[in-house]
A and B are shown apart, each in its own frame.
Chain A
């Protein structure tokens, strides 16, 4: 796919969005009864399920226990039917392990782990349909699940992707734009302070463009943060009214 098709002359992208437009976000919280917190998040065509268990006693090897904080354990799994070609191993391959590590690091920075020494918080993320921005949707879904579980957070974590096509920065890239050879910058920030918790870049572009693309990604994160906050408020007021009714 060449650059001309990714961004048309009228300034519209392949799916008809403008360069600074996000994909439609739909979210639903508290879908699993078993887990402490759960969320289902859709960003465009990327669909992710997240479940949170925590904090509880460390299962398995006690050697992982940290004496002063909780240990965050993440598992990133992509369903075998999530991509165009059937994926043989949903988890355990190198890319999934790398993603799990990045998720752990992102949330270890956001969760107030010092409140629960020697315990473990589990976050399970399952990608049901992958259409670009898998990591970002996972972070956003897991964050909603953490809020649903009531785990104390320093600040919410929001994540967004950005790209650069023909010197125009695009926000929230999908799979076609990502595999078309354009670079993808993934950023996770704490929206209130604007500090970056995780950042990664694939493909390449000139260093002079970095500032522009980073700004676009951070703005995208803040916009997503606003949307997710509205959803959270809606869910909590609904919960509140149903509790008051019963």
Chain B
């Protein structure tokens, strides 16, 4: 499908607003949308949400023969996929011009700056080495794909762990994930990109443009920087853009300070994910969906918390099967708890709780805490499913 054409009045509105130092979404010219990074349950899965732009990266590895010109190094391969799901003008399967630009910029920022130590990926010189492959999928396009893609790729590479390998003479043994802990990749520095949309012959630049701003701009300046204020990549593109040297230098300074903050934020997210995994509870990408649900619901005050005890519970007391305890719902200051009683007596004693008869060991799903956004009139809403396997 063709992209919806940009109307002249839309374009003029954006350009005029930028000339006055304002942006459509209320940000300042050097303000970035707050990135939201979530990691998946698999090692090396990272999703970045930059405003409404959503990009997901997944890292995988396999053993290949290393290149003859670099026989003692592993390989890093970056691939960007853009489907019609992200925007209507993206072709499924084939990368258009924009897709190739994103691909090349992510490659230059991450691969050419040598942020991953490839020599540590070599197993046997000239024979076997790890090939690490980063697949970046653009899920929604709302401007600034390059920054989101680089951040996702970097987050995924930092998160990824490869299987451990031992050499027995000339034999290579790849250990399974439950045999030996997987090994993280060696990341030497953290390069990120920051994009500016250029307006008014390069005199005005806006950081982190939305789709509308990108299309209305004269051109784009993409800077790749790491936390040490080193420039990893730089590109000015756009037909009809002229920019002066001083503008480039001031953009670089703005970007350098922003890059340091973003690397800090990425490291914090990685540490938080590591802490959650140690505790044993990590929801993966579901947590990012839950974030969406939080934003949508309007009655966040009427939240009902469930604390289901780890028992074999059934909604209807089934007489002929196990002696299932009767369940009583108690709403106490907005918190509904389930209390069980072993006998079917009608005494309404809330505080009494007899020990249950021994229940045969079955595999069951235990709900520690179920959060239900309550927008129904009923006070007692029960949502328990049980899997008996």
Contact = CB atoms under 8 A, between A and B. Distances in A.
Interface of A: 63, 72, 85, 94-95, 97-98, 101-102, 104-105, 108-109, 183, 185, 190, 193-208, 210-211, 214-215, 218
A206 B235 contact: no
A210 B104 CA distance: 22
A196 B108 contact: no
Q: Is the interface of B mostly helix, strand, loop or mixed?
A: mixed
Interface of B: 2, 69, 95, 97, 100-101, 103-104, 108, 112-113, 191, 201-202, 224-226, 228-245, 248-249, 252-253, 256
Given A97-B97, A199-B236, 8 more contacts: A98-B100, A98-B104, A108-B239, A196-B242, A201-B233, A210-B231, A211-B249, A214-B245
Contact of B101 (A101, A207, A218): A101
Contacts of A196: 202, 236, 242-245, 248
B236 A98 contact: no
A108 B236 CA distance: 14
Given A95-B104, A97-B100, A196-B248, A109 B239 contact: yes
Contacts of A194: 244-245
Given A98-B104, A199-B234, A201-B233, A218 B239 contact: no
5 contacts: A95-B104, A98-B101, A195-B201, A196-B243, A197-B242
Nearest to B191: A204
A150 B240 CA distance: 20
B113 A203 contact: yes
- The CB with the most chain B CB atoms within 10 A, among A85, A105, A196, is that of A196
Contacts of A218: 245
A196 B231 CA distance: 18
Contacts of B241: 105, 109, 197
B239 A207 contact: no
6 A-B pairs with least C-beta separation: A108-B239, A201-B234, A195-B242, A204-B232, A199-B236, A105-B239
A70 to B, nearest CB: 11
A195 B244 contact: yes
Nearest to A108: B239
A199 B235 contact: yes
Contacts of A104: 239
A208 B69 CA distance: 33
Contacts of A185: 234
A32 B241 CA distance: 32
A76 to B, nearest CB: 13
Most B CB contacts (10 A, CB to CB) among A185, A202, A204 go to A204
A199 B221 CA distance: 9
Contact of B100 (A94, A183, A200): A94
B242 A94 contact: no
Nearest to A109: B240
B229 A207 contact: yes
Contacts of B229: 206-208
Contacts of B228: 206
A195 B239 CA distance: 14
B177 to A, nearest CB: 33
A80 B145 CA distance: 33
